[in-house]
Amino acid sequence: MKLYKKAILPLGFQANGISAGIKRSGKPDLALFYSGLPANAACLFTSNKIQAAPIIITKRHLKQSRYHRAIIANSGNANCFTGEQGLKDAEGISAVLSRAMHLKKESILVASTGIIARPMPFAMIKGSITRLVAGLSAEGIDKAKRAILTTDTFAKEVSVRFNYGCRRVTVCGVAKGAGMIAPDMATMLSFILTDAMVSQGALKKALAGAAGGSFNCITVDGCMSTNDTVIALANGAAGNTLIGPGSRYFAQFAKALNIVCLELAKMIIRDAEGATKFIRINVRQAKSVAQAKKAALNIANSNLFKTAIYGENNNFGRVIAAVGASGAEVSQKKMKVKISNLSKKDIDVDLSLGRGRASATVYTSDLTPEYIKINAGYN
- Which residues here bind a copy of itself, judged by CB under 8 A? 47-51, 78, 80-81, 83, 115-117, 179-180, 182, 221-226, 301-304, 307-308, 310-311, 313-318, 320-330, 332-333, 367-369, 371-373, 375-379
In whole angstroms, the minimum distance from the beta carbon of 347 to a copy of itself comes to 14
In whole angstroms, the minimum distance from the beta carbon of 56 to a copy of itself comes to 10
Render the burial of 86-112: b for 16+ CB within 10 Å, e for the rest: bbbbbbbbbebbbeebebbbbbbbbbb
The Cα 49–Cα 200 span in angstroms is 26
Four-residue CA torsion sign, 190, 48, 116, 59 = positive
The Cα 22–Cα 24 span in angstroms is 6
* DSSP 8-state symbol, 198: B
* Residue 289 near residue 358 (C-beta atoms within 8 A): yes
| Active-site pick, 151, 187, 364, 368 | 187
In whole angstroms, the minimum distance from the beta carbon of 269 to a copy of itself comes to 15
The Cα 95–Cα 99 span in angstroms is 6
The Cα 162–Cα 74 span in angstroms is 31
- Per-residue 3-state assignment (H helix, E strand, C coil) for 88-105: HHHHHHHHHHHHHHCCCH
In whole angstroms, the minimum distance from the beta carbon of 19 to a copy of itself comes to 23
Q: Of the two residues 130 and 331, which places its CB atom closer to a copy of itself in the complex? A: 331
Question: Distance from CA of residue 308 to its chain's centroid?
Answer: 27
Question: Distance from CA of residue 294 to its chain's centroid?
Answer: 20
The Cα 314–Cα 225 span in angstroms is 31
Give the other-Cβ count within 10 Å of 178's Cβ: 23
Q: Of the two residues 184 and 348, which places its CB atom closer to a copy of itself in the complex? A: 184
> Which residues are CB-neighbours of 50 under 8 A, at least 6 positions away?
80, 81, 226
Q: Of the two residues 34 and 215, which places its CB atom closer to a copy of itself in the complex? A: 215
Q: Of the two residues 131 and 338, which places its CB atom closer to a copy of itself in the complex? A: 338
Q: Of the two residues 62 and 115, which places its CB atom closer to a copy of itself in the complex? A: 115
* Residue 103 near residue 69 (C-beta atoms within 8 A): yes
In whole angstroms, the minimum distance from the beta carbon of 294 to a copy of itself comes to 11
Nearest to 177 by CA among 266, 117, 44: 266
Backbone angles phi and psi of 34, in degrees to 5 = -135, 135
In whole angstroms, the minimum distance from the beta carbon of 215 to a copy of itself comes to 16
In whole angstroms, the minimum distance from the beta carbon of 187 to a copy of itself comes to 8
Q: Of the two residues 345 and 373, which places its CB atom closer to a copy of itself in the complex? A: 373
Q: Any catalytic annotation for residue 151?
A: no
Give the other-Cβ count within 10 Å of 57's Cβ: 27
What residues does 115 pair with on adjacent strands?
Answer: 77
Q: Of the two residues 340 and 375, which places its CB atom closer to a copy of itself in the complex? A: 375
Q: Which amino acids are annotated catalytic?
A: 187
